Amino acid sequence: MNTATYQAIFQLTSNDEAVYKSMIGQIKNLQNALNNAVSIEVVCHGRSSSFCISGQNPFQEAIEQLMATGVQIKVCANMLQANNLSAQQLITGIQTVPAGIAELVIRQQQGWSYIKAGF
């Protein structure tokens, strides 16, 4: 059972590294502002596959740090398939969902606050 006071879901569809940097900062600011009483999920779909892939990812350390604080990152299986990627290529700890857009609908129906990552 989730005991967090707040729940926020971020939608990431961009392949822009400036958007990745901004979203990571926004998540940290949200955690600080709410004294970590917030569950956060990031749903990656569309063109955001580069955010999630392990290896030469300049954001991998920051992503791993966010996940260590409880942030869940979920990747659309349809996006992986469309980009000829596999779940084994994801940063360890990132989960897959059948459809990113469906995950957003489900969470919003459950009362999660929606945030579109970007500018």
pLDDT tens profile 99-111? 999 999 999 999 9
Full-model pTM:
0.94
Which of 2, 63, 4, 1 is CA-nearest to residue 31?
4
- Tens digits of residue pLDDT in 66-81: 999 999 999 999 999 9
Q: Domain segments of the chain: what residues? A: 6-116
Domain range 6-116, CATH class: alpha beta
Write the pLDDT tens digit of every residue in 11-70: 999 999 999 999 999 999 999 999 999 999 999 999 999 999 999 999 999 999 999 999
Contact between 9 and 39 under an 8 Å Cβ cutoff? The reply is no
